[in-house]
Amino acid sequence: MHKLREPRVFVPLLLLLVLALFPILLPDSTYEESVLIACFLLAIMASGWNLISGLAGYVSLGHSVYLGIGMYTGAILSKAWGIEPMYLMPLGGVFAALVAIGVGAIVLRSRSHAFVIITIAVLWSVQLLAQVAKPITGGADGIVVPPPAWAKELGNIPYYYMFFAVLLLTILLAWFVMNSRLGAGLVAIRNDEGKAASIGINTTLYKITAYALSAIPFGVAGALYGQYLSFVNPIGAFGILTSVILVLAALVGGRGTLWGPVIGGFIIALANEFATVSAGGVSARVLIMGIVLILVVMFLPAGLLPTISAAIKRRREKGDTVKFIDQTAIANSRTEVDTSAISTRMSTTSKVENILEVRDVVKTFGGVRAVDGVSLTVERGTITGLIGPNGSGKTTLFNCMTGTFTPTSGTVLLDGENITKDRVWTRAHEGLGRTFQITRLFKSMTVLDNLVAPLEKTSAKQMVAGRYSGEEVDRAREILDFMGLSQFEKQNAAALSFGQQKLVELAQVLMLRPSIILLDEPASGINPTLIEKLANVIRRLNEAGTTVLIVEHNIPLVLSLCSKVHVLAAGQVLTSGTPEEIRNDPLVIEAYLGPDHLLEAPSV
Amino acid sequence: MQIVQVLAYGILLGGIYALLASGVTLIFGVLDVVNVAQGAFLVFSALFTWQIWDMFGIEPLLLIPVMGAMMGLIGWAIYRGMLIRVAPQGPGMTVLLMFGVALTMEGILNLGFGNKFKSVTPAYFTQSLNIGEIVLPYPQLISGVLAIVVLAAIYAYLRFSWAGRALRASSQNRDGAALVGISHKKAAGFAFAIGAATAGVGGVLLAIMYPIFPATHYEWIARLLGVVVLGGFGSIPGAIIAALLLGTMESFAATFVPQWAPLFFYGTILLILVFRPQGIMGSKTREDVA
């Protein structure tokens, strides 16, 4: 309970308490109640929107469509079944979520800007549908909703508490998502979606889930809101201005935070009320909202809450000195560490000798055959190298193995299973881990957060599990210890040097318990001392049972580490063999240095 | 015969969509910005056309170069004044900025012109060209043909001029283009100006075809972005194909199931995206390099 003393916990709780008591403390304040109801509704919407657009970074500009769907669900079903719309709130949420899943399944599969645009089109087409489908929706005239059954003298108070309850539930939902692995995955997607997929996050599923969850508060509140307004029509239910205002609210308060959208909801709803009362009609409001949106985007892009808390943090830390970190101790991997942390998962059970195999892989880009019929194998338990001059097709082949590209023809086998068409995250689940030539850590997260982000499988249980729950944190610490990176645990990934980031990325991949790790130019851009340490880490990983495939330009490193090396040239396998064979192969020398080299070289 | 007429009508409509959408897709290609204010630019130009026509009775088509230049200038100013600062924060923020610009323009137009429909009705407004049984109303015919002509001119310019090559270079590889002396900021400002200018031209064409009021910009931007998504982001040929497809589609729907025509428009887009998430001409780019 000591947490209650922290201002960021007790301040919002106190404010919520005041709001809960407001109608009791100040009875007969109908106007104030209606203003607060508008605040609640906007806060609900901004918090819901925040789940997809704040956490995952996919901006939706037509999110009010789900409010309208809730309103129509309540109105239509209440007419059909003869019950009050407020009892249909859960169904409003269900319908909103179902529509969101349908839309998401179409536009959230790939990583593109189609989403933001389709959100506007969806709002627009649902409004048209409501106008056209007269027998069900009543067309442009809409549907009149019966007044509530409660006594008139209660006024808006029951509505006040119902909207308040929906707001509390929405905040709870947002809190739950943010502290779950789902939330961590969404933030990872916002940071770097391709990377998120490579560490086993099913990005499509995560995005669609977030989108559906974000629609639920809208649908629930919508069913209630329809009755509150006492009629539902297409223009009112699917107005784009509602979408604008809710985006503005979330933006002003602070996207991606728990309380930011709530605070923003109150600020913008009050400002909106003020503008309506003093500045006049809709035209003036549109103009004001537009100008405020421009100003916020330009001068307060992070929103009020994050800006204020950053300022407070800066003031607090002013006196602190920067902690010294012993750079020389990095990656002095400790030998006494239990290697179970870096164990692989299937090396003992599978009988296939070649853990990774590509057969006749061809990849063309237009007329260029970057990879032209390559077949090669990586034996279990080895460190295998893949070298070749620039433009020989190494990286393209690597991308076909990791799933960034789908080969034009040919197959890729992992542990004897055909994975040619598997999605990137599926490969990660099946035991294939990869690093990137230029590291792609989630820079706004700490090293530890980066390490607990990978997912070994996709399961509902895991999505709802707490961010730091389970044995992942222990294992992450063991791996950091193994790599000699423990002292960086709480640092932001962006604060590390490039070489350190490479080690952290390798540690991150180890969290997947991969049976094979594909290293994309691990030694490029880091200093020789660190390269030596990296080589040691790779050797020790290999001793613990992990197979390693290295794509590298540093030939001495490859030849000293690997037991087998494949050489690519012009998109084809030039030769394969032991380091000794490769070193003396005239073909390899020719491929790297050109034919002229041979004329003089033998005489030396 | 009705089929031919509907088809011709569809192609003319598609030509207009193509011109308007090519501006959006050009801006996206070079700047990585989804310009949701394009609809507002369009309505802005259309209402100014109405104003000038209403005051001086001038032939509206003569305003095409004026409106093109005016919107080009406004676009360039928006880029230099605002977008250039927000661009580093990525497409999520720039789309919100342009949304703000759209609302501000709508608000200004609301105050200036009132929330009423305005129609530009020159003499040929109610006349049509009759070829046998085919009847083509002059406003549609003139707008459609002019749109196609302007689009062809822009396309040729981007294709064959030095500046066009520079724009394409900058859209394909920003840093690479910078190395050979193409300033991205200049290229981006220029691209945004051309993109906005297409809306300036398009506004005049719309003004003689449809009644306009400020809030119609939402409807237009939803359509244009639909065309761009369907065509594949950043691809002008893709936008043209998608525009012709959707224009024809809408023309047929408007003839046979008039009430449902707009829904056919969006339905087609969603249906095609189910099978081709990247759009008609969109390509998947490599993702291995951050």
CATH number, domain with residue B148: 1.10.3470
> Is residue B31 included in any domain, yes or no?
yes
Check: CB of residue B195 under 8 Å from CB of residue B39.
no
Residue type, A167: L
Interface test with B, best of A49, A50, A294 (most B CBs within 10 A): A294
- Chain B residue with CA closest to A288: the answer is B104
C-alpha distances (whole Å) from A118 to each of A58, A351, B282 are 12, 48, 16
Query: Is residue B47 assigned to a domain?
Result: yes
Q: DSSP letter string over A335-377?
A: TTS-GGGG--SSTTT---SEEEEEEEEEEEETTEEEEEEEEEE
Helix or strand run (H / E) with residue A430 = none
User: Could you tell me the two tokens for B110?
Assistant: 């609301």
Helix, strand, coil % (nearest 5) of chain B? 80, 5, 20
Average pLDDT in chain B? 85
> Looking at the DSSP assignment, which residues form a beta bridge with residue A547?
A516
Euclidean distance between CA atoms A441 and A511, whole angstroms: 14
- A148 Cβ partners below 8 Å, 6+ apart? A84, A86, A158, A159, A227
Relative orientation angle of helices B138-160 and B184-207, to the nearest 10 degrees = 170
Domain assignment of residue B281, yes or no: no
Spell out which residues of chain A touch residue B262, defining contact as CB-CB under 8 Å. 124-125, 128
Q: A325: which DSSP letter?
A: -
B289 in a domain, yes or no?
Answer: no
Determine, yes or no, domain membership for B190. yes
Q: Best of A240, A241, A287 to disrupt the B interface by mutation (most B CBs within 10 Å)?
A: A287
CB contact under 8 A, B97 and A293: yes
Judged by a CB distance cut-off of 8 A, whether residue B219 touches chain A is yes
In 10 A of CB B111, how many CB atoms? 15
Contact A124 B107 (CB under 8 A): no
Give the pLDDT of residue B286: 37
Q: Which ranges constitute the DSSP H helices of A275-303?
A: 282-299
Residue B95: its chain A contacts at CB < 8 A? 59, 61, 113, 116
Residues 6+ positions from A500 with CB-CB distance below 8 Å: A330, A485, A488
Minimal Cα–Cα distance from A249 to chain B, Å? 12
For chain B positions 13-42, those within 8 Å of chain A (CB to CB) are 28, 34, 36
In this structure, is residue B240 part of a structural domain? Answer: yes
Q: How far apart are CA A43 and CA A191, in angstroms?
A: 25
Q: What is the ipTM of this complex?
A: 0.89
Residue A113 in contact with partner chain B when CB distance is under 8 A: yes
Rounded Cα gap, residues A224 and A346, in angstroms: 53
Question: Which residues in chain B are closer than 8 Å to A282, comparing Cβ atoms?
Answer: 110, 115
Rounded to a whole number, what is the distance in Å from the CA of A604 to chain B's nearest CA?
Answer: 41
Contact criterion met (CB below 8 Å) for B234 and B28: yes
Q: Least CA distance to B229: which residue of chain A?
A: A114
* Strand extents, DSSP E, A94-170: 143-144
* Structural domains in chain B (count): 1
Assigned domain for B288 exists: no
Contact: A293, B96; criterion CB under 8 Å:
yes
- The token pair at A112 is 């593109």
Of B115, B218, B287, the CB nearest to A124: B218
Residue B179: C-alpha distances to residues A542, B165, B184 (Å): 43, 15, 10
For residues A164 and A233, the answer to whether their CB atoms sit within 8 Å is no
CB contact under 8 A, A395 and B288: yes
- Residues A34-63 as b/e (b if ≥16 CB within 10 A, e otherwise) read bbbbbbbbbbbbbbbbbbbbbbbbbbbbbb
Of A112, A122, A298, the CB nearest to B233: A112
Q: Return the residue in A64, A101, A106, A113 with the most chain B beta carbons within 10 A, the one to mutate for interface testing.
A: A113
Whether the Cβ atoms of residue A217 and residue A44 lie closer than 8 Å to each other? yes
Contact criterion met (CB below 8 Å) for A214 and A52: yes
Higher pLDDT, B121 or A364: A364
Give the count of beta carbons closer than 10 Å to the beta carbon of residue B117: 10
Phi, psi of A409 (to 5 degrees): -150, 170
User: What are B16-57's pLDDT values in tens digits?
Assistant: 899 988 899 888 888 888 899 999 999 999 999 999 998 898
List the 115-144 stretch of B: residues with Cβ below 8 A of A: 115
pLDDT at A590: 79
What integer pLDDT is reported at residue A601 of this predicted model? 47
Give dist(CA B127, CA A479) in Å, integer. 79
The per-residue b/e assignment along B146-182, b for 16 or more CB within 10 angstroms, e otherwise, is bbbebbeebbeebeeeeebebbbbbbeebeebeeeeb
Q: How far apart are CA B108 and CA B41, in angstroms?
A: 12
Q: How far apart are CA A327 and CA B176, in angstroms?
A: 36
Neighbours of A135 (CB within 10 A): 6
Chain A from 150 to 209: CB within 8 A of any B CB: 192, 194-195
- Work out the minimum CA distance from A598 to partner chain B, whole angstroms: 35
CA A164 vs. chain centroid, Å, equals 30
Provide the CA A175 distance to its chain's centre, in angstroms: 16
Residue A284 in contact with partner chain B when CB distance is under 8 A: yes
Residue A539 CB-density burial (10 A; 0-12 exposed, 13-18 middle, 19+ buried) = middle
Which three-class secondary structure state does DSSP give residue B131? Answer: strand
Q: What is the pLDDT of residues B137-168, one digit of tens each?
A: 888 888 888 888 888 888 888 888 888 888 88
Judge residue A577's burial from the number of C-beta atoms within 10 Å of its C-beta, 0-12 exposed, 13-18 middle, 19 or more buried.
middle
pLDDT of residue B287: 37
**Residues 423-462 (A) with a CB less than 8 A from some CB of B:** 436-438, 440
From the number of C-beta atoms within 10 Å of its C-beta (0-12, 13-18, 19+), residue A152 rates as exposed
Q: Which residue has the tokens 């003869």?
A: A82
The residues near B19 (Cβ < 8 Å, ≥ 6 apart) are: B147, B148, B150, B151, B198, B201, B202, B205
The sign of the CA dihedral A384, A385, A391, A392 is negative
Q: Identify which of A531, A186, A527, A305 has the alpha carbon closest to the alpha carbon of residue A519.
A: A531
Whether B277 contacts chain A with CB within 8 A: yes
- Residues from chain A that touch B277, judged by Cβ atoms under 8 A, are 106-107, 109-110, 112, 114
Q: Which amino acid is at A417?
A: E
The sheet with strand A383-387 has its strands ordered as A432-434, A516-520, A547-551, A383-387, A564-569, A572-577
B15 inside domain:
yes
Q: 10-residue block means of pLDDT along chain A (604 residues)?
A: 70 87 83 93 97 92 94 93 91 96 87 78 88 86 86 84 96 94 91 89 93 97 94 88 90 92 94 79 80 92 88 74 51 50 56 85 86 90 89 87 89 89 89 88 86 82 75 86 85 86 90 90 84 87 89 86 90 88 82 61 46
Which structure tokens are listed for A554?
A: 């540093």
* Residue A412 DSSP SS3: strand
> Would residue A280 be called left, alpha or beta, if left means φ above 0 and alpha means ψ between -120 and 50 degrees?
left
Partners of B131 in beta bridges:
B134
Range of the domain at B271: 2-275
Work out how many CB contacts closer than 8 A connect A with B: 155
Please give the span between the terminal C-alpha atoms of chain A, in angstroms, as a whole number: 78
Beta-carbon contacts of B185 under 8 Å, excluding residues fewer than 6 positions away, are B84
Q: Work out the burial of residue A373: count CB atoms within 10 Å of its CB; fewer than 13 is exposed, 13-18 middle, 19 or more buried.
A: middle
Residue A81 CB: number of other CB atoms within 10 A?
10
Phi, psi angle pair for A333, to nearest 5°: -65, 130
Tokens at residue A210, please?
A: 């977030």
Mutate to test the interface with B, among A128, A131, A195, A243 (most CBs of B within 10 A): A128
Top-confidence residue, B123 or B257: B257
CATH homologous superfamily of A352-431+516-530+549-604: P-loop containing nucleotide triphosphate hydrolases (3.40.50.300)
Give contacts of B86 with chain A, Cβ < 8 Å.
Answer: 297-298, 301
Q: Cβ distance B13 to B258 under 8 Å?
A: no
Residue boundaries of the structural domains of chain A: 54-238, 241-312, 352-431+516-530+549-604
